Structures are given as C-alpha cells and as structure tokens.
Amino acid sequence: KKIDNFRSDPRIDYYFYTEKSNIRSRNWKVIQVPLIPPTDHMDTNRMSTKYYKFKQLPKELMSYDYIVHIDAGRTHYLNNLTFNIISKELEKNPEISFFGRKHPFLNNIYEEYNKVKKGNKDDPFYIEKWKNKLNSENFLQIVPHMELCFFIRKLADNNLTKLFEKIYY
C-alpha cells in the first residue's frame, strides 16, 4: 500500500519486482518475477529477495551504470534521496562502486546475530551455525555495519558482483 509513498523524479527509472500480479503503482514499473524455492533455513520470500538483490539482477537493470536498491518497506527513504544528491555523490566519487548506509542501531555482525535470533527470522540451527563459523574464524568486523535494505551499486564492477554472489551463497 505504501510503495508510492515518496516523491518520484522523472529522471529516475523505477522498477518494482514482485511475484504478485495485482500490484499497481503510479511511480514504479511493476515487473512480475518467479519466486525462488525455499531452502532448509530460509523461506521462499526471503530467498527470492536475496536472489534478486545479490545473485541475479533482472535483465532490465543490466544496461544501467548504477542501480539504487531499496527494499519495499523502505521506499520512504526516497523522500530524502534526490537525483541531484545521487548525481553529485557519483561525480565526486567515481572510483567508488558501493554506497551504503551505516546501520542505524546495529554496530556489528554479532549484534545482528542477536537481533535475528530474538526475531525468529531464521532457523535457530543455522543462526548458531553462522555464529560458530564467525567465532571459529575469530571474525573481527573492521568496516561499519551496513544496512543492506538500501544501497547504490556500480554494475560494471565485476569484483563487487562476485562479492554480492558470495553474500547470496
């Protein structure tokens, strides 16, 4: 109901990907995509979201230099992000391939682990398996913890594409 709850800009192309056939929008070109099968630890909706975000961008996006990804629940962020703001950042930083947002309240992957565990979003077995992997590697997070419901990415960066695929897997 709230996907059009922002000021659109005619200089930006908006694509909204969904498995539903009944979504209508005045701002977004709504494109129906198939759901990705679930895994043992993630339902089909979460798998599909992660697949199209990290693993396989839809073909309509491949001709762009940059894409702005935003999860459906965060479209209101677009009220604070204009074409001019995006353009200025990209022009000032042509060597940067990923623009993200520091997570507003989580500082690291361990805090995210605790939040996911409390929220029952994933299977507890796999949550513990992930934490054990981090602990066994003595993982120390040295970069700011990012909120990946919103980001800008350069499509020509093959290393970033490989990293996004690794995130998916």
pLDDT attached to residue 66: 97
pLDDT attached to residue 103: 94
pLDDT attached to residue 104: 92
pLDDT attached to residue 18: 95
> What is the mean pLDDT of each successive set of 10 residues along the chain, which is 169 residues long?
88 96 94 93 88 95 96 90 93 96 93 88 83 93 92 97 93
pLDDT attached to residue 43: 86
Q: Which two tokens stand for residue 151?
A: 């980001």
pLDDT attached to residue 31: 96
How many residues in total does the chain contain? 169
Nearest one of 115, 98, 100 to 146, comparing CA atoms: 100
SS3 of residue 104 by DSSP = coil
pLDDT attached to residue 117: 87
Distance CA 111, CA 10 (A): 39
